[in-house]
Structure 1
Amino acid sequence: MDWRSVRFDWNRARAFLVTAEEGSLSAAARALGMAQPTLGRQVEALQEELGVVLFERTGRGLELTPSGLELLEHVRTMGEAAGRLSLGASGRAQALEGNIAITASEIDAAYLLPPIIEKLRRTATGLTVDLIAKNSAADLRRREADIAIRNFRPDQPELIARKIKDVAARLYVSEVYLERFAKPLGVETVAEADFISLWSPNSYLAALVGAGLPVDRSNLTILADSHLVHWELLKAGQGIGMVPEFLGETTPGIVRAMEGAYTPFQFPIWLTTHRELNTSRRVRMVFDFLAEELGNI
């Protein structure tokens, strides 16, 4: 390879990549933790080094030029390679001390993982844990987390995933809400019931109808885009909601709704990590520990 033909600074290429992916200099500066003017100068310097214009200013901000679009894929490949280099270096760390970042849904992070993490910290006292509660999937390839607990199987070939088990979820309701009904709440009276939607109304309604419940859009009286908000609304007597058995069965004042009128919902638990990180003794230990503990819930 003719190394003299490489005529640009990687930091400047990174500035271009992040600006293109974030959509603006201000957003890119926040993502990189640097000042916007500094980032802007790096992008300008890269354009001068390469002799091309990468962005055009429009009324909506920055847009990639044809040259920028062409170069973006090459720089993105460089960014992924740089990420793999960092992953490989961290994966060689063999100590059980250090930080481990675990991501899970809000419900799992709030109600399922705390006692497991407490046990983990007693087992490996040198570990510090970042628990990232988010319902969207963290990107393990970009080191947003070391290990993810997910309710779906990842399809990226560079990730290692292990299915732990299937967890049942049911419809639950507060005893306070049931006091509104003169008759038992069942298929015959479901038209009068309020349901708390957990995701998009159409998808949630399709799940309820698919389970055999004769409900329609008018039954979805509240939409919550947060699992924790959905749970608090349910406990406050605002309607029927769907939660895992490990939560609904152990909370005083909460009972099963529409028992026998539908087929319980099943959600898989997948434990996921990066292939290169999986060579780390620290990550391997935590991965196996979580697999055992989650398998016992």
Structure 2
Amino acid sequence: MNNIKLPSEPDWFLWRSFLAVMDEGSLSGAARALGASQPTLGRHIEELESCLNAVLFDRTGRGLKPTSIAFQLVDPVRNAKSALAQAQLAVTGATELLDGTVRITASQIISHNILPAILKKARELFPMIELEIVPSDAVENLLLREADIAIRMFRPGQLDVVGKKIGDVPLRACAHQSYLDKHGTPLTPQDLYDHEIIGLDRQDDIIRVSKAIGFPLERQNFKLRTDSQTLIWEMVKQGLGVSFAQFNLIETTPGMVHIVPDLKIPAMEMWLVAHREVHKANRIRVIYDLLASELSAYTGAKM
């Protein structure tokens, strides 16, 4: 008889590593995405190829190049990942226990400046519930369980989610008093052009909104640039320049001053979002309701 090696059934974690490599385009990118080491991901790929008795990637000087077999497999594996996530959602939604884990995602600004006080109250009220926080300005996918609850500054467009508008968050131009003492206080939008404006680097949110309200800014107008909004806020607090922030955050931060009242910046909507199935779980529902109550107090909205 010929010694033909028949394919065996790989463990799911091997498929997960395979999908990460396909999505990220490299072992290093997949390792970062999964929080694993590059050698571990390499061993997973080799083990998966051994299980399937197939070559999924050609090894080149530039890394791994997917073969035609890999491209044929990627969509079925992605569908399987989604199906497993849906199954987990169904189980999560069925439990009524006030223990376990709740994963919350919010923007960097909300996570660092608003959430901690709410999380303290959550721990006091529900000590058996473990909380995981994902500070991110990216949109986490609730359907794939990247988060149980999301605080978003826009109306959710994803299907199969429960969304509650918390309120509108006003935005204002601001600076620290130490900066104004040294450079003077801008009184009109035009005055801002003569000041140290702190803005975004590669993202165009500020530029897009400024043009829409008749106060055009370009990237070169920002004397300090970063795509980290928390870093922008910290630089403004240190008196490095002027920028734009949430009204309530300015109000509650010592030394911060509202400037240029004639600059009318559109408010952002704040939404609290959870997957419809997850929202049935008692532990997630109580955290969701607590967040809704506390964030409504922050925005001044009536429950």
Indicate whether the TM-score tops 0.5: yes
Q: Distance in 2 between matches of 1:93 and 1:73?
A: 31
The residue type equivalent to 2:196 in the other structure is D
Q: Is the 8 A contact 2:203 2:227 kept in 1?
A: no
- Where does residue 251 of structure 1 map in the other structure? 253
Q: Distance in 2 between matches of 1:18 and 1:209?
A: 39
Q: Residues 206 and 40 (structure 1 numbering): CA distance in 2 closer, same or farther, change over 3 Å? A: closer
Q: Residues 56 and 97 (structure 1 numbering): CA distance in 2 closer, same or farther, change over 3 Å? A: same
- Where does residue 205 of structure 1 map in the other structure? 207
Pair 1:274 & 2:275 matched: yes
Q: How does 1:16-165 map to 2 (within 5 A)?
A: 16-25=18-27, 27-28=29-30, 31=34, 33=36, 35-36=40-41, 38-48=43-53, 52-165=54-167
Q: Helix, strand or coil: the match of 2:111? A: helix
- Cα-to-partner distance string for 1:67-99 (whole Å, 9 max, x where unaligned): 321221111111111122222223322111222
The residue type equivalent to 2:193 in the other structure is A
Q: Residues 206 and 156 (structure 1 numbering): CA distance in 2 closer, same or farther, change over 3 Å? A: closer
With structure 1 as the length reference, what TM-score do the two structures score?
0.86
Deviation at 1:136, TM superposition (A): 1.6
- Cα-to-partner distance string for 1:85-137 (whole Å, 9 max, x where unaligned): 22222332211122211111121112211222222222222222222212222
Q: Residues 136 and 217 (structure 1 numbering): CA distance in 2 closer, same or farther, change over 3 Å? A: closer
- Where does residue 284 of structure 1 map in the other structure? 285
Q: Is the 8 A contact 1:178 1:185 kept in 2?
A: no
Identity of aligned residues (%): 33
Aligned residues: 288
Q: Distance in 2 between matches of 1:202 and 1:227?
A: 13
Query: Could you say what the CA RMSD is over the residues aligned between the two structures, in angstroms?
Result: 2.5
Q: Is the 8 A contact 1:187 1:214 kept in 2?
A: no
Match of 1:232 among 231, 234, 252: 234
Give ranges in structure 2 of 5+ residues lacking alignment: 1-6, 299-303
Q: Distance in 2 between matches of 1:119 and 1:270?
A: 20
Q: Helix, strand or coil: the match of 1:179? A: helix
Q: Helix, strand or coil: the match of 2:164? A: strand
Q: Helix, strand or coil: the match of 1:282? A: helix
The residue type equivalent to 1:269 in the other structure is M
Q: Residues 166 and 42 (structure 1 numbering): CA distance in 2 closer, same or farther, change over 3 Å? A: same
Q: Helix, strand or coil: the match of 1:192? A: coil
- Where does residue 3 of structure 1 map in the other structure? none
Q: Residues 232 and 72 (structure 1 numbering): CA distance in 2 closer, same or farther, change over 3 Å? A: same
Q: Distance in 1 between matches of 2:223 and 2:277?
A: 46
Q: Is the 8 A contact 2:185 2:259 kept in 1?
A: no
The residue type equivalent to 1:277 in the other structure is V
Q: Residues 92 and 107 (structure 1 numbering): CA distance in 2 closer, same or farther, change over 3 Å? A: same
- Where does residue 194 of structure 1 map in the other structure? 196
Q: Residues 277 and 59 (structure 1 numbering): CA distance in 2 closer, same or farther, change over 3 Å? A: same
Give ranges in structure 1 of 5+ residues lacking alignment: 1-5
Deviation at 1:230, TM superposition (A): 0.4
Q: Residues 182 and 27 (structure 1 numbering): CA distance in 2 closer, same or farther, change over 3 Å? A: closer
The residue type equivalent to 2:257 in the other structure is V
Q: Helix, strand or coil: the match of 1:155? A: coil
Q: Helix, strand or coil: the match of 2:151? A: strand
Q: Distance in 1 between matches of 2:242 and 2:184?
A: 17
